[in-house]
Amino acid sequence: MASMNRLTFRANMAQVSVPATSANLGPGFDSFGLALEIRDRYAAQILDDKTFDIDISGEGADEIKRDGKNLVIKAMMRGFDFMGGKPQGIALRALNAIPQGRGLGSSASAIVGGLALSRSLVLSGEEYMSDEDLVALGTELEGHPDNIAAAFYGGATVAWMDKSEGQARGRAISIPVDLAVKAIVFIPESHLATSKARKLLPASITHEDAVQNSAHTALLVHALSHRPDLLFTATEDFLHQKYRSDAMPKSLALMNDLRSRSIAAVISGAGPSVLVLHSGDSDYVQAIVASAPASFKAVELAIATKGVI
């Protein structure tokens, strides 16, 4: 083992896997997250040479940077810096399964994976970086806490920005998910940058829409935890989805078609994937999947009860 500053680095390789996530779930903009059982897998080891040895395979591998700008590497270096020292170099291996740029938390997976790897590669790393610290650092890198929280904790989470100490700090809690709740994701061929989707949001909304959205966000906690039969009502959004229709018309059309049949469909995160939450049987699932347009790939997914592992 080699040491630098106050840290002692482990010589052996560390490995983690991180689930996909869907943020917002309709009305819970920038606050609700749900972990889904598709996982990106990362392995890393400390090097004595000043180099980043990076190998990536799987989803979007050809589009991902293989230098210091790689998001996993950036998160690792931020984690090491927070804990008090940086290694000379890092060897990173990534096997990606989460679709890139589809609103399924691929960037949050990379960030949470990198931070978790940095903590695992430091002897007694949890003494230098708590779970709360990791979520806060992830939020700092991602810009909002919803996907970060779900990727780290798994299951369903509620996240917020805590400004009580003079600076905004991402925080989160887990909420239970009824075992009957399952997911279907409709993944389009097209990408959409989160930054582009955010630029379409209005500066203000009506008081009536704000009241409705608040009520549905509160109801969503109960629907996820105890009353899946209320998911359709609880996932109705008044805050952001309709304003993004120009950026993803096919996704909004699919979502609206599903909701016209009382199916709890929402835009997953910033889109353009569409998420359906349900507690139906196999016949119910088959009927929903069969209705998907040819430009969408329908995937049945379990809720990931564990986050990064």
Domain ranges of the chain: 3-175, 182-301
Q: Mean pLDDT over residues 283-295, rounded?
A: 92
Give 196's pLDDT tier (boundaries 50, 70, 90). low
Structure tokens at 25: 């779930």
Give 2's pLDDT tier (boundaries 50, 70, 90). very low
Q: Is 258 helix (H, G, I), strand (E, B) or coil?
A: helix
In this structure, the strands spanning 169-175 and 274-278 are unpaired
pLDDT at 1 over 60: no
For 246-285, where are the E strands, in sequence order?
264-267, 274-278
pTM above 0.75, yes or no: yes
- Please give the share of the chain, as a percent, with pLDDT higher than 90: 85
User: What pLDDT shows up at residue 232?
Assistant: 98
The C-alpha angle 208, 210, 216, rounded to 5 degrees, equals: 105
Closest Cα to residue 177, out of 272, 281, 14, 37? 37
User: What pLDDT shows up at residue 212?
Assistant: 92
> What CATH number does domain 3-175 carry, 3.30.230.10, 3.40.50.1970, 3.40.50.300, 3.40.630.30?
3.30.230.10
Q: Mean pLDDT over residues 88-109, rounded?
A: 96
pLDDT digits (tens, 9 = 90+) for 50-86: 999 999 999 999 999 999 999 999 999 999 999 999 9
Give 298's pLDDT tier (boundaries 50, 70, 90). very high
Which class in CATH covers the domain with range 182-301?
alpha beta
